[in-house]
């Protein structure tokens, strides 16, 4: 079964609504990766810091309709461009700083019974943004370390399973400025 979705550019009000309706009640209590994120602060901080470096920050949500037709965000992401390509500093890319998916418990609470993966459409949007800005589809992804080595390995395997490549450990990790 196919679930119809839309990509919605986020305003500050959208990330505040995400924080209140999805993050605080469903993500924060689980203490997992991203549970301590403050999306309104990340949104404002990224916009300010990226402007300082001459880059642009963009946020978007992937939304589907609930049974009444109301839009429910199933994923949210914050990206930056043009960013130094992690694999080769001579090229630029779109860099995905923060990505979050709506937990199953939240989807259930909103009446959504379909199950699907949101990482592929988030990556697809990032690739399209990269291509539309002349960055040849290059996408960098900030991968936060998990609380345990097993969580980190699980996250890395999920990304590898979607065709992503881990950059050399010798290059270190990018951190949010």
pLDDT tens per residue across span 35-89: 888 999 999 999 999 999 999 999 999 999 988 888 999 999 999 999 888 777 7
Band (pLDDT 50/70/90 cuts) for residue 146 is low
Q: Higher pLDDT residue, 1 or 139?
A: 139
Q: Higher pLDDT residue, 71 or 32?
A: 71
Band (pLDDT 50/70/90 cuts) for residue 114 is confident
Q: In the predicted model, what is the mean pLDDT of residues 87-104?
A: 88
pLDDT number for residue 164: 64
The three-state DSSP-derived secondary structure of the chain is CCCCEEEEECCHHHHHHHHHHHHHHHHHHHCCCCCCCCHHHHHHHHHHHHHHCCCEEEEEEEEEECCCCCEEEEEEEEEEEEEECCCCCCCEEEEEEEEEECCHHHHHHCCCCCCCCCHHHHHHHHHHHHHHCCCCCCEEECCCCCCCHHHHHHHHHHHHHCCCCCCCHHHCCCCCC
């Amino acid at each position: 079964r196919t679930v119809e979705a839309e990509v919605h550019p986020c305003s500050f009000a959208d990330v505040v609504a995400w924080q209140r309706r999805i993050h605080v009640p469903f993500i924060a209590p689980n203490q997992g990766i991203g549970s301590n994120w403050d999306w309104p602060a990340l949104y404002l901080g990224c916009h300010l810091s990226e402007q300082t470096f001459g880059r642009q920050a963009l946020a978007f949500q992937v939304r589907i309709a609930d049974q009444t037709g109301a839009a429910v965000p199933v994923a949210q992401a914050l990206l930056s461009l043009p960013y130094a390509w992690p694999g080769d500093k001579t090229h630029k890319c779109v860099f995905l700083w923060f990505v979050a998916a709506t937990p199953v418990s939240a989807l259930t609470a909103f009446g959504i019974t379909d199950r699907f993966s949101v990482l592929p459409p988030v990556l697809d949007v990032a690739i399209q943004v990269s291509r539309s800005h002349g960055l040849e589809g290059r996408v960098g992804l900030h991968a936060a370390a998990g609380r345990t080595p097993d969580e980190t390995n699980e996250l890395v395997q999920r990304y590898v399973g979607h065709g992503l490549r881990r950059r050399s450990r010798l290059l270190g990790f990018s951190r949010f400025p």
